[in-house]
Structure 1
Amino acid sequence: MSLPSVAAFTDTYLPTVNGVTYTVQSWRDAWHRRGGDMPIVYPAADDYEPDEREFPVQSLPFPFYEGFRVGVPRVPAEIGEMDIVHAHTPFGLGMSAMRLARSQDLPLVASYHTPTSEYAAYVSLGDRVERTIRKTARSYERWFFDRADVVVTPSERTREHVREEVGVSTPVEVVSNGVDIERFQPVETADFRERYDLPEDRPVVGYTGRHGYEKCLPDIVAATDGMDVTVVFGGDGPAREDLESRAAAADVDVRFLGFLPREELPAFYSVIDAFAFPSPVETQGLVALEANACGTPVAGVDSGALSVTIEDGVTGYTYPQGDVEAFQRTIERVLDEREAHGEQCLDHRDEISMENAVDTLEDVYRGVL
């Protein structure tokens, strides 16, 4: 049975690197390997040349968040005839997806990647305005996702959020983002350790990903203050300067590696002994699963999707949100039990694989047809 053709619309794509970009690109690649067609419509950027079946549209910089661009709603005629439309955003290009679905009477699938209301602090001017923006964002999310035929979330916890807190009445299906377990597996780390001058005589605690204020990354510095460890941060973002200031004042060895090419991430995950993840706003926490695929357990906050992404006592441990002392104890526990949990993480690789995720995605697509 041939695969349906799916037009994917996203406001987040290369050269911006984050979980949404990775998921959209990886699902497209897996779909193409299976013989399907999945063109991607995304905001144009000067420093990225589109591949075949990638269609950039005119875009504008988003003034409140450096590195993000907003696509001007448009449906490129070159994508051709489609069977399904998949919106990976409820905003600019999400509206293009809705327009295409309505004009050609096609099913609309909409992914809920990010809780929009959690980013209100980037655009607000005080608590009152922030509360208003959060309320407006949630109302808009409900309006948009209720106009889809099915909503896709990366975790059961996010599904509950969409149904109960956002109030969406459309059917919601869980499709994990998936991890490329061929890429993300334990690797030799000697070259990576030497390149970034990482010590061998003490444990290494690490985080990689976007440095956003909503990620609560200063909690990693506070939790490791006074510990005999090295803390490494990979990635970049608007909160980095503040994070560096806090690290300079703390009694702990902190290193900032900056943006890491994707091909170096398996070595990053393999060289660290614990992945520290204090972000309460994750819809799945893909980097936690990538760390697990490389045999590294996670010390993460018991909030959002991380409450279920991290299997306590199996792939790491969780701690109560906002309790920095508990975070420190959790990091210490993960370090103490690193070897046992590393093996358990590897035992779960097939469950979190990209192929597993795309099998489920295919079921969703066939369901709406």
Structure 2
Amino acid sequence: MSLVFAENEVRVNETVSAVTGLETIDTDELKIPANLLSKTSSIQKEGDATGTGQSGEKARGLVDIYNNSDDGITLANGTTLTNISTDLKYVITREVTIPAGDRVEDVPMEASSFGQNYNIVDNSADYVVAGYNTSQMIARSFRDIEGGTTEDVVVVSQEDIDAVKATAIEELKRQLLDSVNGLISEEDILLEGSQTYKEDEFKSSVEAGKEADKFTVDIKMTLSALTVLKSDLSTVAEEVVKRNDSSEGASISVTDPIVRDISISDDGRQATFSLSSKAGVTADLDEAQLKETIAGVSVAEAREYLDSIDGLDDFSVRYSPIYIPFFLQRIPSDHGKITVEKSFETTAEE
């Protein structure tokens, strides 16, 4: 007898999880191992400064300091003097000791910042000494405080830094993605959406607001991504098909699985997705069991039994010698005299 088994196409559509740290496939929970790839790289980019700011020289001059207290007082280098009229601040540029009830003349001082507004020309000024009230100590200038200047300069703006950083990040991301893709073999599938970029380091050679014509930014980033094995996806798809009772004992052929609707956990170490595939299921039967079932029955009964087998697309029974009338033809009781030929037809690719 000749038996023809036809392939039956089954569609698979299941939710599957891929987990890092999982060593083997969990067919009960439909979980497969995930491989966490990681690549770190850095880049440096130069930018032009476009911001505007001001710079200049500090005003300098001499001041007399009066000690009206009963004790000698020592003022450290850098002690602040505040102009009573303008509230602008200056600092002395050397340590000075003023005896009780006395004064020290021509103590050098300079403005706390650049600017021509710190200049005092053709006028005297009184100053509050930091840490003391004017009844204890006071400073006075009688000669010009001059040399302060203000000029417009080009500075690095925060917008300049942000723009160059954004360009550098995009270029670095492309480089990292190319590097990670180079780690993926033909046996792997990258889970799209699992790519996570982490900024490890960032620095600018010039701070925002500082004078410069050009500056550079340095960025270091790490890209992490999840991959799974195609063979693991096929194994899961086969397992889903096997759960169908009608496929028990059949051969299963799974086409390339498709992964979609990927969801990544917050820590980036697990993915859940929809797995879809087509599987060709070809029924089969145990030859010894078939012979045991049909041995000794009539050919008509054997045909009726064969016709009831799921997955058997076609069959033919040839009886020898052929001159025996059909109603007398019976399947031999001797299994050795029963010849079974099986063939399998696959579904044509769309």
Q: Calculate the TM-score normalised by the size of structure 1.
A: 0.18
Q: Which has the larger radius of gyration?
A: 2
Q: Which has the higher strand share?
A: 2
Q: If each structure's helix is expressed as a fraction of its own residues, which one has the higher value?
A: 1
What TM-score, normalized by structure 2, do the two folds share?
0.18
